[in-house]
Structure 1
Amino acid sequence: MLAILGVLLLVWIVVAVLGFVIKGLIWLAIIGIVLFLATSIFGWVRRKTTRR
């Protein structure tokens, strides 16, 4: 599960960077950032609940 989250985080970073690099695709960067944050929060919550 942790490996899948790591891959997803890497994909979202690439999407966000591409959105900033390619002019006119700022919406892609925003989506990448939002998905990165959502995946990070999901992984953090999931990890905290599995420790108990």
Structure 2
Amino acid sequence: MTLTGPAVIAAYGLRFKMIEEMFRDFKAGSYPLEGSKLAPEQLSKLMIVVAIANTSA
């Protein structure tokens, strides 16, 4: 599927709104995951839950 014009802008806007903000939150925003001291498996599960919550909000 090839997007052109306004569809490309809309798709990028959606990506920025959901994915980029989620990465920012994971890295240094609302979720201090670096200092959580969780085991890798637990951290992965937590990130999945947070991702679902962010995309469902």
| TM bucket, shorter chain | 0.3 to 0.5
TM-score (norm 2): 0.37
TM-score normalised by length of structure 1: 0.40
Larger radius of gyration: 2
RCO (CA 8 Å, sep 6+): is it higher in 1 or 2?
A: 1
Larger helix proportion of the pair: 1
